[in-house]
């Protein structure tokens, strides 16, 4: 009997030991499963840098100079060195009309001028006292003789003939690019007919802003221009603000596009004008959250999220000025921070630094 009791005792002890081990393993596994994973976050750095308030609008590209060149005289085009998209220099001859008629008019005007000049000189011979004067051209008699001889009229006709000949050569009014070209060799044109149009390479963006926005602008303020079709950004600056508010409460404003670019007049663009507010401590707006109505920014310390009450100033929609609660150089959490707790473990998913 004593042997059976002993074996029974050993069995009970063995079962108890094994049962205890299973409970410990289960508890440990459950503890691991119940441990929350680190919150994945993105971070940025609080920096002291120039801060800008932003005004965003859309507009159209326009040329600072844009002209339609018209024929100033009638004739047949003898030569046309023009095509749309062609870049030209100021004063370059682009279209020539047949000059024969204008040249004949000039020759006739030169002959008439020489005749009138000779007649005027002969008329002066009969007035030796007039010729003896130091400045005879100031004498009224001198002017009457000049008019009577036809010299004054022929001189005007000669100048007109020279101008008419010059009009047979159409030059580029300034350096720029041609478009809407309608001139070609052999075409007969009349005075006032359109030959081509030209815009210069100094391009502007025309935008209409609210009067409250326009009042904050000054010439030279920086701007950024984006063309959605090209998916490209260009730098610019405020060129002019028209001091007139239209019936819709809008103010016409022009932004000068700086540097090399491939924009054309008529293109639709988006504009972001920057109003400088000096050096400010700032963080991305996405790092700022409200807790119980108070602004909070989470910083990072030893892979833990740290709760920081802050005070903020300017807000441009992208960055927020921090006036109290943070220091420059601190890493701040910019996403997954709405439900984040103080001292919550975090893992950095992607750093913008």
How does pLDDT run across 97-117, given as a tens digit for each residue?
A: 999 999 999 999 999 999 999
Whether 39-52+280-351 and 55-64+201-278 share one fold: the answer is no
Q: What is the mean pLDDT of residues 270-280?
A: 94
Does domain 39-52+280-351 correspond to CATH entry 2.40.420.20? yes
Q: What is the mean pLDDT of residues 208-237?
A: 93
How does pLDDT run across 296-315, given as a tens digit for each residue?
A: 999 999 999 999 999 999 99
What pLDDT does residue 3 have? Answer: 47
Q: What is the pTM of this model?
A: 0.67
Rg of the chain taking only CA atoms, in angstroms? 43
Label the pairing between strands 268-284 and 304-309.
unpaired
What pLDDT does residue 1 have? Answer: 46
* CB burial of residue 79 (10 Å; 0-12, 13-18, 19+): middle
Instruction: Give the other-Cβ count within 10 Å of 155's Cβ.
Output: 16
Residue 60 CA neighbour count, 13 Å, CB half: 5
Task: Residue 257: name the closest of 227, 231, 228, 213 by CA.
Answer: 227
Q: What is the mean pLDDT of residues 330-348?
A: 93
Specify the DSSP class assigned to residue 334: -
What pLDDT does residue 168 have? Answer: 96
Q: What is the mean pLDDT of residues 50-69?
A: 95
Separation CA 258–CA 281 (nearest Å):
29
Task: Residue 273: name the closest of 243, 245, 241, 237 by CA.
Answer: 237
Q: Where are the domains of the chain?
A: 39-52+280-351, 55-64+201-278, 70-199
In a 3-state reduction of DSSP, which class is residue 114? helix
pLDDT band at 36 (very low <50, low <70, confident <90, very high): low
Q: Name the fold adopted by 55-64+201-278.
A: Elongation Factor Tu (Ef-tu); domain 3 (2.40.30)
Q: What is the mean pLDDT of residues 20-46?
A: 64
What pLDDT does residue 80 have? Answer: 95
Output the CATH code of domain 70-199.
2.40.50.100
What pLDDT does residue 34 have? Answer: 54
Residue 72 scores a pLDDT above 60: yes
For the chain, give the percent of residues with pLDDT over 90: 72
How does pLDDT run across 2-30, given as a tens digit for each residue?
A: 444 444 444 444 444 454 444 454 444 44
């Amino acid at each position: 009997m004593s042997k059976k009791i002993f074996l029974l005792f050993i069995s009970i002890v063995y079962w108890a030991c094994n049962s205890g081990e299973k409970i410990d393993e289960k508890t440990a596994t459950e503890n691991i499963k119940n441990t929350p994973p680190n919150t994945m976050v993105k971070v940025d750095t609080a920096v002291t840098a120039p801060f800008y308030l932003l005004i965003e609008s859309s507009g159209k590209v326009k040329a600072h100079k844009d002209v339609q060149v018209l024929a100033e005289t009638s004739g047949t085009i003898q030569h046309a060195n023009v095509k749309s998209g062609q870049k030209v220099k100021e004063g370059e001859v682009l279209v020539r009309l047949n000059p024969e008629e204008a040249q004949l008019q000039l020759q006739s005007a030169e002959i008439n001028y020489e005749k009138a000049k000779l007649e005027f000189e002969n008329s002066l011979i009969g007035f030796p006292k007039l010729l003896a004067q130091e400045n005879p051209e100031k004498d009224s008699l001198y002017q009457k003789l000049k008019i009577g001889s036809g010299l004054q009229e022929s001189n005007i006709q000669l100048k007109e003939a020279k101008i008419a000949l010059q009009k047979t050569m159409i030059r580029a009014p300034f350096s720029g690019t041609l478009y809407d070209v309608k001139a070609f060799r052999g075409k007969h044109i009349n005075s006032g007919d359109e030959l081509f149009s030209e815009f210069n390479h100094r391009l502007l963006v025309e935008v209409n802003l609210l009067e409250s926005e326009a009042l904050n602008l000054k010439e030279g303020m920086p701007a950024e221009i984006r063309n959605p079709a090209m998916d490209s950004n260009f730098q610019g600056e405020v060129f002019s603000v028209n001091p007139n508010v239209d019936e819709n409460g809008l103010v016409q404003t022009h932004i000068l596009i700086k540097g090399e670019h491939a924009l054309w007049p008529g293109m639709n663009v988006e504009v972001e004008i920057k109003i400088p507010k000096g050096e400010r401590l700032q963080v991305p707006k996405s790092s700022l959250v409200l807790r119980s109505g108070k602004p909070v920014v989470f910083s990072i310390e030893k892979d833990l999220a740290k709760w920081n009450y802050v005070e903020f100033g300017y807000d441009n929609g992208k960055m927020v000025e921090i006036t109290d609660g943070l220091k420059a150089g601190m890493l701040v959490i910019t996403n997954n921070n709405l439900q984040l707790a103080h001292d919550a473990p975090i893992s950095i998913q992607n750093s913008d630094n």
